[in-house]
């Protein structure tokens, strides 16, 4: 967590521009709440943005004219930088597609919670489907649809069904590591063939803890292949396995009860309830390429943990 002073320094630097009719400051309220206050000339609107890494900047308020203020919880402010930047025309509409199996799907994966993070000028299409491996996708109707839609960005998360149960029990979906790598290369090249941007995503961590309450690493072999292909083809990579590994260690074993999908067996450690999907989708969004910043809605605070 960045110390609050870092954020206050950013605000103080921008506040010095007050003589030019714009200012930005952060004011503490009580023990854990903060007000982000901004002002800009009424005839010259500015956009208030936030970033966790000084690269992916996301709009909080599109057009600040006159005085504007917004209250955030302590975590939302202390982990973000803020800035005022001259307002620009809305970015042109784009289409974003999700590919994967049930771990990414609308029915039981993190994809179900990603829509609210995007502005109306970004259309999100989720073609992730249960039981789909790279082999299945490459002979599917979803592939044909993707080639017709030609999305601008394609988020690709495969690997679970490529290895599930092995070649004897699931010959139609199983791939060897070498085949898996070749299939990922094929998908990436197809997306680039219509000038789309492919983004490879590792499998999120299983919610399994050891006797000491630490998450047990999972899916390392297939995730290593995904990372290798991303490096080889210079494709953006979201290491969701590491991000969720850290998140589940932070939340502890008790999160399994509210993250698991109701109606599935209690031992299911990969599918996600809507509450669980909100936590994981937030990790994906915060790791997207900087170019998607103009299409994102700023949701600074971590979602609330459901109460029993």
Q: Which CATH number characterizes residue 39's domain?
A: 2.60.40
Q: Taking the CB of residue 74, how many other CB atoms lie within 10 A of it?
A: 17
CB 243 within 8 A of CB 283: yes
Give the span between the Cα atoms of 182 and 266, in whole angstroms: 35
247 occurs within a structural domain: yes
Write the CA distances from 278 to 130, 161, 234, 286, integer angstroms: 19, 23, 29, 12
Task: Specify whether the CB–CB gap between 132 and 160 falls below 8 A.
Answer: no
Give the per-residue pLDDT at 166. Answer: 62
CA 297 to chain centre: 12
Give the number of domains in the chain: 2
Mark whether 141 and 262 lie in a shared domain. yes
Separation of alpha carbons 117 and 99, rounded Å? 18
Residues 125 and 78: their CA atoms lie apart, in Å, by 33
Percent helix / strand / coil, the chain, rounded to 5? 40, 25, 40
Return the pLDDT at 8: 39
Tell me which DSSP letter residue 117 carries: G
* Domain annotation covers residue 304: no
28 - beta bridge partners? 34
Domain shared by 117 and 199, yes or no? yes
Q: Are residues 98 and 229 in the same domain?
A: yes
Q: Which pLDDT does position 6 carry in this prediction? A: 34
273 & 130 share domain: yes
Check: CB of residue 182 under 8 Å from CB of residue 226.
Answer: no
Among 107, 103, 170, residue whose Cα is nearest residue 136: 170
d(C-alpha 202, C-alpha 241), whole Å: 6
The pTM of the full predicted model, rounded to 2 decimals, is 0.87
pLDDT (0 to 100) of residue 61: 84
pLDDT on residue 154: 98
Q: How many helices (H) and strands (E) does the chain have?
A: 11, 11
Query: Of the candidates 86, 121, 147, which is a domain's last residue?
Result: 86
Low-confidence ranges of the chain (pLDDT < 50): 1-19
Do 103 and 235 share a structural domain?
yes
Instruction: Please report the pLDDT score of residue 2 as a whole number.
Output: 36
> Is 115 part of any domain?
yes
Residues 77 and 113 in one domain: no
Task: Verify that 99 and 221 share a domain, yes or no.
Answer: yes
Residues 131 and 244 in one domain: yes
**305 inside domain:** no
Q: Say yes or no: 177 and 68 in one domain.
A: no
Confidence (pLDDT) at 73: 67
Q: Which of 46, 69, 86 is the last residue of a domain?
A: 86
Q: Which domain holds residue 59?
A: 4-86
pLDDT digit string, tens, across residues 170-204? 788 999 999 999 999 999 999 999 999 999 999 99
Here the CATH number for the domain that contains residue 163 is 3.40.50.1110
């Amino acid at each position: 967590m960045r110390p609050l002073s870092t954020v206050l320094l950013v605000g103080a630097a921008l506040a010095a521009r007050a003589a030019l009719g714009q200012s930005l400051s952060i004011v503490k309220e009580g023990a854990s709440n903060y007000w982000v206050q901004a002002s800009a000339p009424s005839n010259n609107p500015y956009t208030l943005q936030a970033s966790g890494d000084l690269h992916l900047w996301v709009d909080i308020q599109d057009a600040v004219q006159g005085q504007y203020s917004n209250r955030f919880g302590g975590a939302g402010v202390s982990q973000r930088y803020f800035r005022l930047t001259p307002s620009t025309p809305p970015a042109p509409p784009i289409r974003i597609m999700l590919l994967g199996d049930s771990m990414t799907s609308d029915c039981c994966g993190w994809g179900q919670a990603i829509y609210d993070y995007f502005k109306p000028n970004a259309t999100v299409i989720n073609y992730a489907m249960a039981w789909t491996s790279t082999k299945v996708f490459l002979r599917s109707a979803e592939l044909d649809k993707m080639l017709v839609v030609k999305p601008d960005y394609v988020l690709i998360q495969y690997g679970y069904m490529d290895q599930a149960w092995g070649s004897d029990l699931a010959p139609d979906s199983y791939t060897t590591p070498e085949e898996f790598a070749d299939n990922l290369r094929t998908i990436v090249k197809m997306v680039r063939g219509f000038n789309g941007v492919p983004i490879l995503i590792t499998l999120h961590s299983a919610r399994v803890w050891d006797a000491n309450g630490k998450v047990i690493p999972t899916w390392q072999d297939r995730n290593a292949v995904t990372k290798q292909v991303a490096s080889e083809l210079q494709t953006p990579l979201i290491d969701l396995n590491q991000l969720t590994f850290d998140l589940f260690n932070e939340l502890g074993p008790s999160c399994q009860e509210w993250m698991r999908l109701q109606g599935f067996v209690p031992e299911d450690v990969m599918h996600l309830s809507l509450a669980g999907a909100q936590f994981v989708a937030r990790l994906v969004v915060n790791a997207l390429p900087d170019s998607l910043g103009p299409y994102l809605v700023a949701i600074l605070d971590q979602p609330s943990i459901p109460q029993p």
